[in-house]
């Protein structure tokens, strides 16, 4: 079970949103060129550490409110260490998966019923390692040609689309989070009462070019 306590947050000394900041808008749309320029063609095929591996799919609908990204809230389950958290469709690499990319495509179909194609792939972000439970995660970015119907399975409590323009302008807030048996203070975004923190927060910062901490 995860509980939150929200407090206003002032940027610490290591946060610099203005340095090398480029206006991400083109009219009333988010400029996806800026995201493409931050992507790499493929994540490394060999891992630097002997850690479990997972993949996530960052799905962008360019025609929704100037460009939106799909996020999910995971169902609260005692067996799931990320129970109740906001995240992207994705999961652990199966022995049958031939690549990290295949993992992201398979998991997306299983969790939200969206059939992704390699032709929709814009690229990937660098591998990110979770700060708890030590899992290496490969984030893949996809751009849809048209709207899709999200059909969530039992692992997903809800799904929602967030405009990229909104994410690029959200103020960082500090939350007290209780995760399992630990209390933690974390940087986060608050989107309509949904708290985005942890790995999802870090990946979004990477994709949007927001330099918010030394960890990203």
Q: Which of the residues in the chain have pLDDT under 70?
A: 1-23, 25-27, 44-49, 78-82, 133, 180, 212-216
Q: What is the pLDDT of residue 21?
A: 47
Q: What is the pLDDT of residue 20?
A: 41
| Cβ neighbours around 209 below 10 Å, total | 16
Q: What is the pLDDT of residue 181?
A: 74
Rounded (5°) CA angle 89-160-96 = 10
Q: What is the pLDDT of residue 160?
A: 97
Q: What is the pLDDT of residue 77?
A: 72
- Look up residue 183 and give its two tokens: 């209390």
Q: What is the pLDDT of residue 134?
A: 78
- The DSSP bridge pattern shows strands 53-61 and 136-143 to be parallel
The three-state (H, E, C) secondary structure of 97-165, written as one string: CCCHHHHHHHHHHHHHCCCCCHHHEEEECCCEECCCCCCEEEEEEEECCCCCCCCCCCCEEEEEEEEHH
Alpha-carbon dihedral sign for residues 192, 130, 186, 168: negative
β-bridge partners, 123 = 141
Confirm if 158 and 72 have CB atoms less than 8 A apart: yes
Q: What is the pLDDT of residue 76?
A: 83
The three-state (H, E, C) secondary structure of 1-48, written as one string: CEEEEEECCCCCCCCCCCCCCCCCEECCEECHHHHHCCCECCCCCCCC
The superfamily (CATH) of domain 2-208 is: Nucleoside Triphosphate Pyrophosphohydrolase (3.90.79.10)
pLDDT digits (tens, 9 = 90+) for 115-146: 999 999 999 999 998 877 678 999 999 999 99
Direct distance between the N- and C-terminal alpha carbons of the chain, in angstroms, rounded to an integer: 26
Q: What is the pLDDT of residue 5?
A: 37
Q: What is the pLDDT of residue 52?
A: 86
Domain boundaries, the chain: 2-208
């Amino acid at each position: 079970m995860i509980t939150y306590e929200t407090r206003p947050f002032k940027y610490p000394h290591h946060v610099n949103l203005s340095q090398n900041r480029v206006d991400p808008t083109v009219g009333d749309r988010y400029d996806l060129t800026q995201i493409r320029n931050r992507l790499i063609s493929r994540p490394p095929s060999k891992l630097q550490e002997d850690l479990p591996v997972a993949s996530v799919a960052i799905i962008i609908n360019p025609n929704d409110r100037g460009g939106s990204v799909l996020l999910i809230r995971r169902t609260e389950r005692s067996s799931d260490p990320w129970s109740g958290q906001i995240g992207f469709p994705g999961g652990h690499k199966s022995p049958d998966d031939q690549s990290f990319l295949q993992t992201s495509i398979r998991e997306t179909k299983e969790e939200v019923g969206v059939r992704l194609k390699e032709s929709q792939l814009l690229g990937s972000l660098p591998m990110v390692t979770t700060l708890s439970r030590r899992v290496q995660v490969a984030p893949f970015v996809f751009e849809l040609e048209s709207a899709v119907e999200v059909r969530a399975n039992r692992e997903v409590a809800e799904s929602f689309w967030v405009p990229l323009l909104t994410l690029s302008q959200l103020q960082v807030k500090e939350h007290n989070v209780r995760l399992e048996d630990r209390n933690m203070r974390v940087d986060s975004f608050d989107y309509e009462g949904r708290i985005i923190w942890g790995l999802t927060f870090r990946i979004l910062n990477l994709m949007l070019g927001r330099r918010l901490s030394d960890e990203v």
